[in-house]
Amino acid sequence: MRRIPSYLSKSALAVAITAGLTGNVQAEESSPALEEIVVTAQRKSESLQNAAIAINAASGKQLERLGVVNAEGLNKIAPALAVLSGGGANTAYFVRGVGNFTNNGYTNPAIAFNIDGVYIGRPSSTISSFLDLNRVEVLKGPQGTLYGRNSTGGAINVIPNTPMLGESNGNIKIGAGNYGAFDATLVTNFAVSENSAARLAATISERDGYFDDGTGDADDMAIRAQYYTEVNEKLLVRVAADYSTQQGAGAGVQYNGYYAFSAFNSDLPIANWDFVAAPDGLNDDFTGLHAPAVLNYVAENVAGAPAHSPFVGYIYPTRDDSYKGVNAEINYDLDWAELTIVPAYRVSELNNQFNGPPFKAAINQDKAEQTSVEARLAGSAGNVDWIFGAYYFDENVKGQNSFNQFSTVSHNDFDSNVESTAIFARGTYNVSDQLRLVAGVRYTDETRSIESEQSATAAVCLEHPEGRAPFCPQIPTLPVGLTLADTLSQLDPSLFPLRPLVGTPSGVYPFGPINVFASAGQFGPGAILSITPSSTSESGGDSETTYRAAIEYDVAPESLLYASFETGFRAGGFNLATGREVYEPEYIDAFTLGSKNRFMDGRLQLNAELFSWVYENQQLAALGTDINGANAFYTRNVGESSIKGAEVDFQFAATDSTLLRGSIQLLDATYDNYTYTQVDLSDDGIDPPNFLTPVNGCVNTQVLLQGDAVVAYNPALDGAQGYDRGFTVDCSGKDALNAPDLTATLGIQQMFEIGGYTIIGNLDARYRGERELGFGYQADARSDSDLTADLAFTLIPSSGNWSLNAYFLNLTNETIASTYQLGAGNVAASAYEPPRTYGLRFSYDF
């Protein structure tokens, strides 16, 4: 019999879900009986219940019902997954506390995101990808053999519908909702010839902002075209091209308050900061940072070091991003094996301006180009099913970035390159009809380089009024500009006197000394502008062999028991932060014990999983300070971390018209050994120890930094040549970010027959425990536990080609913090998940 290629089997066999996790499209239109969904997560077509891996899946129909129109909504289908939207095009994915914030073009994710079988190197390129979907698969834990690159935490597969031979039809959907929401989608499939077909899908989506200041809006467009042909009985070819854009203001943030420096107490050498919460009227849900009352309050109460000028001039965010690509899937039947080749080329161009407490404005202008190709051979020999493959990935990211923090601003112009190659194999030995042994291995070799020119600019106050802190209210915060020249062109030189300090080099006209800060007794009138240029030229690489060993046993015809041990690896990389230029690879070992079952003649489905992961050098990216004390966004390594827990999900067809579903995850994710150093911004040898402690919730210990060495604090060496004051920050024992100890879902689907119509009602509730959002574990950086509910009704005529869906998401209008930011002036803010939304969506088949 001729083999069915993987993508064709998806189109012919995959069915959608009736529950939050698995099911069947037709079940939503006829009955809630438990049906199968076919997945290809292991590079072969198999029933989800037969896939001996930790995986959740949802069909395109189910995603529509849940209101999932982009990657941010995937939180709804997998309790282990958290999807976080930040400023600009930034999106972060966390699975069981494993993930990474990717706020620049040279930071890598920990969850591999794949669209139509193609790995997407930049997470920003995934937001507008949910168009004409067949299904989404969420794989949990390291995927070190079949996926490899940047998949230590798991993988997400977004799989579109593909052209169908011999069919000419289509569908149009039009929706409208609150916040001025409007969306329209057109899908057409048409037969080109007996052996070929094409498919076209296009969508637009618009929405006003969730926040009162207009942020949190949407203005998206996407189009995808595909062509499929059966050249002959052995050769099948499909080619796809897509283009999408994102515009508008983008994500918004809510002002929480700020941390004020409190009086020093030598008897209490601990964090000396008091949190000043936003007053009533400014902390109302979804007010937004750009509300006039908020801007006025911040300007009157917060000043930014080192010029200590008032915080004025937050720039309103904008976004104008585009993504495009072309890919193909070629399947050739060699008789003894099936050859699959997946070449792809993608480009993303980001032009966005965002802000929040860290930034008066952050400007990203990046262009990322990636080329990849994967080739696989799959076949069987006796009792062994095998797959061999090779993978090549090449990415170039060029960008200009500006990060303005009022009295300081950094500019960089970078060129980053990554080349990754891998070979992999997996074999399944069928010991008997019930018992199978699985082994897999992958060798990855990755080289990378980065070239960058950057500058750090600071407006430094030289006034010496009464009290400790200088204050220069007459000095403006630094202007916003993409380049240093843009910023300098907007400054008045007379505000920064050309006056070199004693024993220091003279400045560069018309601005003051370069990288010069006044020492004690040298304060003068006004301020100077310190400009520190630097360059980065780094190259390197890592190679690693990862593997998987597993055993699968069919306890009964509909009961599967499996256990696996898999390793993962994520290569190191580079930062554009002085003294933090290089970070190391991370490694993970993961053990999984799982069971998948059907009982009561297939009416009850019960799946369970136990997991234990151990990390070494886990990579985390966040805003911090470089060795000169300048703020920078960079990746650092956590020494050791451990993740363990259990997950259970079920579906129960209670009657012919009632389906119950639910899931629960218990999670213990901890940074076991997590310590790093931070520069002390107080004056060495003048201010007392612990005078200016870092603003965090960890244990801070005053030390002295001697180059890369950390030595115990010694007053005799404080201020001595070669010694700089610093802190060790010990966050060991803290919970991992975005890792609630309890996540639970419960839902019901009920069908009603009324006259010639069927009404399908769905109610789904979700509970999440408290979770840490902020890298610094500040007191206000923890998200409270929350309970949300979604409600939907679908009206379907017994004879007709249309349907009408009414949806209510976040029914009780819970306010849920999703990310936390603390930046210049120690101003704190949070981003939110969407508030209550509702609307109608009409679907018509033709």
What integer pLDDT is reported at residue 505 of this predicted model? 35
Q: In the 3-class helix/strand/coil scheme, how is 181-217 assigned residue by residue?
A: EEEEEEEEEEEEECCEEEEEEEEEEEECCCCCCCCCC
* Strand duo 154-160 + 111-115: pairing: parallel
Q: If you average pLDDT over residues 539-546, what whole number do you get?
A: 95
Domain 6-160, classified CATH 2.170.130.10, yes or no? yes
pLDDT at 492: 79
- The pLDDT of residue 363 is 92
What is the model's pLDDT at position 169? 96
d(CA 69, CA 764): 17
286 pLDDT higher than 50: yes
* Lookup result for tokens 């289908």: 77
For residue 186, the cross-strand partners are 172, 202
Query: CB–CB of 262/270 below 8 Å?
Result: no
Tens-digit pLDDT profile for residues 759-784: 999 999 999 999 999 889 998 899 99
- Does 235 have pLDDT greater than 90? yes
Q: Is 61 helix (H, G, I), strand (E, B) or coil?
A: helix
Given pLDDT bands bounded at 50, 70 and 90, which one contains residue 533? confident
Mean pLDDT of the chain: 86
CB < 8 Å & 24+ apart, contacts of 797-804: 797/756, 797/757, 797/758, 798/756, 798/757, 798/758, 799/756, 801/844, 801/845, 801/846, 802/842, 802/843, 802/844, 802/845, 803/842, 803/843, 804/840, 804/841, 804/842, 804/843
Quote the CA–CA distance of 186 and 169 in Å, as a whole number.
11
Burial code of 321-332, b = ≥16 C-beta within 10 A, e = fewer?
bbbbbbbbbbbb
- Would you place residue 25 in the very low, low, confident or very high pLDDT band (cuts 50, 70, 90)? very low
- Give the distance from CA 372 to its chain's centroid: 22
Give the model's pLDDT for residue 27: 37
Residue 177 has pLDDT above 50, yes or no: yes
Question: Tell me, what's the pLDDT at 102?
Answer: 75
Q: Of residues 276 and 681, which shows the higher confidence score?
A: 276
Q: Which of the four pLDDT bands, split at 50, 70 and 90, describes residue 537? A: very high
Q: Residue 143: pLDDT above 90?
A: yes
Higher-confidence position of 299 and 692: 299
Per-residue pLDDT averaged across 358-384, rounded?
Answer: 94
pLDDT of residue 365: 93
The band of 271, judged by pLDDT with boundaries at 50, 70 and 90, is low
**What's the pLDDT at 104?**
75
What is residue 476's three-state secondary structure? coil
Whether 550 has a pLDDT exceeding 80, the answer reads yes
From the list 787, 777, 779, the residue with the least C-alpha distance to 816 is 787
651-691 pLDDT, tens digit per residue, is 999 999 999 999 999 999 999 999 988 888 776 666 677 77
Query: Which amino acid, 421?
Result: T
Higher pLDDT among residues 529 and 588, named by residue: 588
Is pLDDT above 90 for 3? no
pLDDT digits (tens, 9 = 90+) for 788-842: 999 999 999 998 899 999 999 999 999 999 999 887 778 899 999 999 999 999 9
Under DSSP, is residue 48 helix (H, G, I), strand (E, B) or coil? helix
What's the residue count for the chain?
Answer: 846
What DSSP state is assigned to residue 299? H
Distances (CA, A) of 67 to 75, 82, 130, 795, 840: 11, 16, 11, 16, 11
Would the pLDDT of 101 be above 90?
no
Residue 4 has pLDDT above 60, yes or no: no
pLDDT tens-digit map of 563-582: 999 999 999 999 888 888 89
pTM of the entire structure?
0.89
Q: Which of 34-38, 230-234, 326-330, 584-588 has the lowest mean pLDDT?
A: 34-38
The confidence score (pLDDT) of residue 510 equals 36
pLDDT in the model for residue 388: 98
User: Residue 470's pLDDT is what?
Assistant: 52
Query: Tens digit of pLDDT for each residue in 600-638?
Result: 999 999 999 999 999 999 998 887 777 777 777 888 888
- In the chain, CATH 2.170.130.10 covers 6-160
pLDDT beyond 90 at 357: no
Query: pLDDT tens digits, residue range 482-530?
Result: 999 899 888 877 777 644 333 333 333 333 333 333 333 334 456 777 7
Q: What is the DSSP letter of 680?
A: -
**Distance in angstroms between the alpha carbons of the first and the last residue of the chain:** 35
Would you place residue 560 in the very low, low, confident or very high pLDDT band (cuts 50, 70, 90)? very high
Alpha helices in 619-674 (DSSP H): none
Summarised one tens digit per residue, pLDDT across range 690-728 is 777 888 899 988 899 888 889 999 988 888 888 888 899
